[in-house]
Amino acid sequence: MKRIAIVLTLVTLFFSLSISAKDKWLKIKSNHFTLIGNASERDIRTVGTRLEQFRSVFSQLFPNVRMDSPVPITVIVFKNKSSYVPFMPGHNGKVTEVAGYFQPGEDVNYITLTSEFGQNNPYSTIFHEFVHSLTNDSTANMPLWLSEGIAEFYETLEVTDKDTKVTLGAPISHHVFRLRETKFMPLPQFFSVHHKSPEYNERDKQSIFYAQAWAFVHYVMLGNNSQRQPQLGQFFRLLGTGAPVEECFEKAFQTDFAAMEKELKNYISGSRYPVLRYTSKDKLTFDDEMTTEPIGEAEANYYLGDLLAHQHRTDAEKYLQTAIQLDPTLAPAHASLGLIRIYTGQMGEAQKYLEKAVTYDKAGKNHLIYYYYAMALMREGSSVGGVQMLSSSFDPQKAQTIRTNLKRAIEINPGFGRSYSLLSFINLVTGEQIDETVALLTRAFQAAPGDQDLAFQLAQLYLRQNKFDDAKKTVEPIARNAADPAKKQRAQSMLDQINTIIEGQARYKAQLEADKQQELASAQVVEEKTEGQLVPNRPALRRRNEGEEAKGLLTKMECSEKGVTLHVTVGAEKLVFHTTRPERLEFITFTSAVGENIECKTFTPPRPVRIVYRGNTDAKSKYNGEPLAVEFVKSEEK
C-alpha cells in the first residue's frame, strides 16, 4: 500500500513553476541509489547512508530476497520545506504537507524528502515502501498480511552509535493500542484478506489488519527468543515453489492456523514486545563509497519534471521544457516529455521526442529511452493504453524497429522486466522469434519470480509453442495463491482455457483414429463389392451437426479468455463466428493438409472449410452466429 508521512496542515497549491538559479544542485551516487538535491552535500550523504544502512540490514536478515532491483531508485533531497512544497502530493488544488514519500513505478522509483523535517521523521514511511519494492519481484505470491507485516516491522529500523548499533522491532504505539482495544481477527479471516477486502480498505478495519500483521511478524521474528525466525525464512522459500499458502504455512511453522492463533493471542495479551539490538561486525558507514558531482539547472529541472510526470501532473511540462531550453541535447528530458505524450495518447508527438532522445543518448546507457520509444511505436493508432488494439497494424519494418529498441533496452538493463513484456507481446502478435523470446523471458522470470505479468506472458508463449504442461506450471501458482483477486481469476481462466485445449486435442485425436478405422472398414467393404463399382472419394459416413452451414475460406482463428472467434470469407462476404464454449466446438478433417494440431493464428493461405453454426438472433451482435463444428476440406470440395 502506498502511504505518505502526513503532517496535518493543508496549504493552497500555488507556487512558482521554476527552481531558483541560485540553488546549488548536487548528484551523489552511492552503491545502490542516485541522490540529487539542493540540500547540503552533508545532508544528502546522510540520507544516502540511511538508505544504504537499511538495505544492508534487511539483506542480512532476508538473504534470499533479491536486493538489486532492476528498477532504478532516484532520491530527491530538498533543502527546506518551501522548496519541497511544490513537489508534495496534491489534491483538488491543494497540497498535503508531508515529511517524505516513496513513489513506486514500473520504470523508476522516486523517494523524496526534505532535510528540514524537524519532528516529522520521514524514514518510517520510506522504509515501509522500500520493503515492498524489494519483495514484490523477489517473492512470488506473498500474501498481503505478510507483505504488510514485514514492511511495518522494518519501518522502525535505526542505526546509532557511529553507525555500529542496530535497533529493530521497537513497538509501534498506535498498533499496540489498537490491539488492546479492537477485537482480534481470526487467523483464517486475517490470512484471506486481499487488496479488495473491506478489512484492507475500510478505515475502521484497516487499522486492526495492519496492527495484527505487524504483531504476527514481530512474534515470529522476536517472540519466544526468536525460535520461529528461521521458520519464516523457510516459509518464504516454500512460497516460491507455488504450493498452496496453507500447506507452506503448516510445513514451515510445523503447526496449523488454530495453534498459531492461540500463540499469537497470548503474545499480544502479554504486551511485551522485545526489541532486537545488536552491534554490527562491520561499521555501517557508506560515505567513502559515494561520489559527488555538481549538476546544472537543466538536469535539476529534468529530475523534478520527471518526478511530476510520473505523478501524471500537468506542471511537469514546464520543468521539462525549461530543461530542454537550457540544454537542447538533454536526452532524458526529451524521453520524459515523450512519456507524457504517451500518457495523453499523442503518439506522433511522443515519437518525435523519443527519436530525439535516442539521437542524443550518446552514452547509450539509458534503457528507459529505448523502452519508451518502443512503447510509443506499439501504441501508435490506439486509444490511450490500448496496446491490445494493435494486433493487426504491425508492418514488418515497424515490428523490427520495436524489436531492435527493446533488445537494446534489455542489453543495457537485463533485469528490467517491462522490456521483456513488450518484446513478448510484439512477437506473439507477429508470430516471430517465439523460441528466442521464450528463452529471454524465462531468464527474466527466474530473476523476478514475483512478477506475475511476466508469468502470464511466458504462459502465452508456451501456448504458442503448444507446450501446455509448461504453461500450466507457470500460471498454477498464481491461480492458487495470488494476493490480487483479478490476477487469480485471470490465471484460473487461462488454466481452464489450457485444459479445454488439451481435452479438445484428445477428442480430435480420438476422432482421427475413429475415422481411420472407419476408412479401413470402408475399404474392406469396397474390395468385397463387384468389380467396376465406383469407390466414393470420401468416407460414406460423415458426421453431421445440426445447424446452418457456411462454406468458405477460414482466414483467422483467435483464441482468448473470452472464447474462440473464427473469421470466414464466403464469396465476397466476410462472416465472423464466436463461441464462449470452445470445449463444445468440434474440429473435423478429411484432408491430410491439416495436421494434428490446429493453431490459433492467421491462415496463409486461407483454409477451405465448412462451418456448421447456430445463427445469431440478436440483430445488434457483431457475430453471425455460434460455431458448432469446423470441417477442413480439400479445395475441390469447397
**253: Cβ–Cβ under 8 A, 6 or more apart, which residues?**
220, 228, 231, 235, 260
In Å, how far are 17, 189, 305, 317, 367 from 308, measured between CA atoms?
A: 11, 39, 5, 9, 20
Across 4-29, average pLDDT: 58
Strand bridging mode 625-632 / 90-91: unpaired
How does DSSP classify residue 88? S
The verdict on residue 138 lying in a domain is no
Last residue of a domain, one of 213, 245, 274: 274
Q: Report, as an integer, the average pLDDT of 21-25.
A: 82
User: With 50 as the cut, is the pLDDT of residue 2 above it?
Assistant: no
Looking at the predicted structure, is the pLDDT value of residue 95 above 60?
yes
Virtual CA dihedral for 529, 533, 537, 542, nearest 10 degrees? -50
CA 229 – CA 477 distance, rounded (Å): 25
CA distances from 615 to 555, 557, 628 (A): 20, 19, 10
Question: CA 579 to CA 574: how far, in whole Å?
Answer: 17
Do residues 523 and 533 make contact, with C-beta atoms less than 8 angstroms apart? no
Residue 326, CB half-sphere, CA atoms under 13 Å: how many?
18
Q: Is 451 a domain residue? A: no
Find where cell 537542447 sits.
Answer: 328
pLDDT tens-digit readout, 538-590: 333 334 445 688 899 999 998 877 788 999 998 888 999 998 877 677 777 65
**CA angle centred on 144, ends 142 and 145, rounded to 5°:** 110
Confidence label for 8 from pLDDT (cuts 50, 70 and 90): very low
Please compute the mean of the pLDDT values over residues 200-220 and round it to a whole number.
82
Q: Please give the Cα distance from 9 to 172 (Å, whole number).
A: 23
Across 130-144, 185-199, 282-296, 547-561, least confident range: 130-144
Three-class secondary structure of residue 478 per DSSP:
helix
Mean per-residue pLDDT for 130-152? 78
Closest of 165, 169, 168, 167 to residue 281, by C-alpha: 165
| C-alpha dihedral, 384 to 390 to 391 to 392, nearest 10° | 150
pLDDT of residue 20: 64
> Which residues have a Cβ under 8 Å from the Cβ of 13 and sit 6 or more positions away?
90, 93, 94, 95
Dist. CA 307–CA 313, nearest whole Å? 9
Q: Which residue has the cell 539483506?
A: 59
- β-strand partners of 113: 77, 100
Threshold 0.85, pTM exceeds: no
Domain edge (last residue) among 251, 274, 297: 274
For residues 462 and 474, the answer to whether their CB atoms sit within 8 Å is yes
Cα–Cα distance measured from residue 311 to residue 428, given in angstroms and rounded to the nearest whole number: 31
Q: How many domains does the chain have?
A: 2
CA distance 457 to 423: 10
In terms of pLDDT, which residue wins out, 67 or 301?
301
pLDDT, residue 292, reads 96
Residue 298 has pLDDT above 90, yes or no: yes
Contact 361, 369 (CB under 8 A): yes
| Cα Rg, the chain, nearest whole Å | 30
Rounded Cα–Cα distance for residues 213 and 103 (Å) = 23
Q: How confident is the model at residue 523 (pLDDT cuts 50, 70, 90)?
A: low
| Total residue count of the chain as it appears in this document | 638
Would you say residue 235 lies in a domain?
A: yes
Which CATH number is 577's domain given? 2.40.50
pLDDT in tens, 606-623: 889 888 888 876 767 888
Quick one: pLDDT at residue 371? Answer: 95
Instruction: Select, from the ranges 189-203, 283-297, 482-496, the one with the highest average predicted confidence (pLDDT).
Output: 283-297
Identity at 413, one-letter amino acid code: N
Task: Determine, yes or no, domain membership for 592.
Answer: yes
Type of residue numbered 241? T
Q: Determine the pLDDT at residue 138.
A: 57
201 inside domain: yes
Examine residue 190 and state whether it is found in any structural domain, yes or no: yes
Rounded mean pLDDT, 274-295: 88
What was the pLDDT predicted at 594?
Answer: 54
Q: How far apart are CA 29 and CA 36, in angstroms?
A: 9
Residues 6+ apart with CB under 8 A from 294: 24, 25, 26, 27
What is the rounded CA–CA span in Å between residue 394 and residue 380? Answer: 10
Cα-to-chain-centroid distance, residue 176: 34
pLDDT for 546: 54
Distance CA 316, CA 301 (A): 9
**334: burial class by Cβ within 10 Å (0-12, 13-18, 19+)?**
buried
DSSP string of 49-60, one letter each residue = HHHHHHHHHHHH
Residue 590 is predicted with a pLDDT of 54
Average pLDDT over residues 218-225: 92
Give me the chain's average pLDDT, please: 82
Cell of 465: 509453442
Nearest residue to 419 via CA among 394, 391, 451: 451
Grid coordinates of 134: 524489494
The residue segments making up the domain with residue 248 are: 171-274
Question: Other CB atoms closer than 10 Å to residue 266's CB: what's the count?
Answer: 11
Beta bridge partners of 602: 556
Task: Give the residue from 230, 247, 274 where a domain finishes.
Answer: 274
- pLDDT beyond 60 at 13: no
Which is more confidently placed, 329 or 386?
329
Whether residue 631 lies inside any domain: the answer is: yes
Instruction: Look at residue 556 and tell me if it is in a domain.
Output: yes
3-state class of 630 per DSSP? strand
Q: How would residue 90 be classed by pLDDT, with cut points 50, 70 and 90? A: confident
